Amino acid sequence: MERLLRVRRPEGGALRTLVTPDGVPLHVEVPSLGERAVAFAIDFGITSVAAWLLLVAAIFLAWVGAGGGAGAFVFLAFLVRNAYFVAFELGWAGVTPGKRAIGLRVIDRHGGALSAGAVVARNLTREVETFFPLGMVVGSESWVLAPWEIVPVAAWLLLTSALPLCNRDRLRAGDLIGGTMVIADPKTVLLEELVADRRTFTFTTEMLERYGILELQVLEDVLRRSDAFAPQPLLVEIAEKIRRKIRRPEPVAPRDAYVFLRDFYAAQREFLELRKHLGDERADKHYAERARPSR
């Protein structure tokens, strides 16, 4: 389990542990910053278009003169953006359309329910940590800046934009203050059982003493990615390697490679699960060296 926490998944994200109120540790995947940025870009695009349409409607209904357009747009975008993020993250349990497209979700970092306060806090802080400084930089003459104000703003921009890079959970300031984090939305696929009821090959205990859990799970990955009928030189090669390692005298016919590996997997797993049950957990093939006290 300890190793699982440190493993980086090939799909990208790193794993973190979240303890539920029932006391069961669950593993959540921290998405990459790229995924976060794309999700945000989608949401930002949607809200900007919505604010722009509202502005057109407002001008059409003569609420706003043509001259006041820029100011009113900033105002409408602010309203639309905040209403959008808060409403979706509350209504859809931590998911906005952009996050849904990428497969992200906001959760309470300590395993509780996501509260309305936390959602509002993390979104309001987004306003403070991103848009206001951005607005100041983009239109600095209209923001009436005293020269010395630029220094803290620049420092702030640097700090907040670097914050998600500086912590392993990729928290931005809003997550820190709201007590939330963004995770990859879990997908559940129950893959089929690899252990068949009818087996062709049998193995002696001595043959099963050679490998540990790590090798077993590598073999599991290989089997799940292969299929029984296509001829696969890789399977033949692995089968031959295992046959030699466990000192099995009879050769394995190339067309039997898959069945051999599957039956070996079943026998090895049964054996290692029994050893684990008896208090002898064999992490990998070097278990014997570790068990012996070094002199």
Partner 1 sequence: MTGARRETPPFQSVRFRREREQSWLELEALIEQVRTDGIGSLSAEQLEAFPLLHRAALSSLSVARAIALDRALIAYLDSLALRSFLAFYAPPADRLGAPRRFLAETFPRTVRALRVHVALALAALILGIVAGYVLTSGDEHRWFEALVPAGLAGDRGPASSREELLQGEIEAPVPQNALSAMATSLFSHNTLIALLAFGLGLLAGVPAILLTVYQGMALGAFVELHVRRGLGLEFAGWVGIHGVTELLALVLFAAAGLRLGELLVFPTESSRADAFALHGPAAAKVAVGAVGMLAVAAVLEGYFRQAVQSTDARLAIALLSLIAWSAYFAFAGRRAER
Where in 48-107 is the site for partner 1 (CB under 8 A)?
Answer: 58, 62-65, 67-68, 71-72, 74-76, 78, 90-91, 93-94, 105, 107
Query: Which helix (H) or strand (E) element contains residue 165?
Result: helix 150-166
CA distance 133 to 159: 12
Q: How far is CA 198 from CA 156, 175, 194, in A?
A: 65, 52, 12
CA distance 183 to 104: 6
CA distance 180 to 213: 35
Least gap, CB of 216 to partner 1 (angstroms) = 6
Sort residue 161 into left (φ over 0), alpha (ψ -120 to 50) or beta.
Answer: alpha
Residue 53 or 295: the one with the smaller Cβ distance to partner 1 is 53
The DSSP 8-state label assigned to residue 63 in this structure reads S
Residue 37 or 150: the one with the smaller Cβ distance to partner 1 is 150
Least gap, CB of 38 to partner 1 (angstroms) = 22
Give the residues across from 28 on adjacent strands.
Answer: 16
- Contacting partner 1 (CB under 8 A), which of 22, 225, 229, 278? 22
Is 207 a binding residue for partner 1 by CB under 8 A? The answer is: no
Residue 9 or 293: the one with the smaller Cβ distance to partner 1 is 9
Give the range of 32-40, 41-49, 230-238, 245-253 binding partner 1 by CB under 8 A.
245-253
Q: Which of residues 130-159 bind partner 1 (CB under 8 A)?
A: 132, 135-136, 141-146, 149, 152-153, 155-156, 159
Give the range of 39-47, 219-227, 229-237, 238-246 binding partner 1 by CB under 8 A.
219-227
Site string for partner 1, 166-205 (x = CB under 8 A): -x---x-x--xxxx------xxxxxx-xxx-xxxxxx---
CA distance 118 to 213: 42
Give the residues across from 25 on adjacent strands.
Answer: 19
Is 278 a binding residue for partner 1 by CB under 8 A? The answer is: no
Task: Work out the end-to-end distance of the chain between its first and last CA atoms, rounded to an integer number of angstroms.
Answer: 29
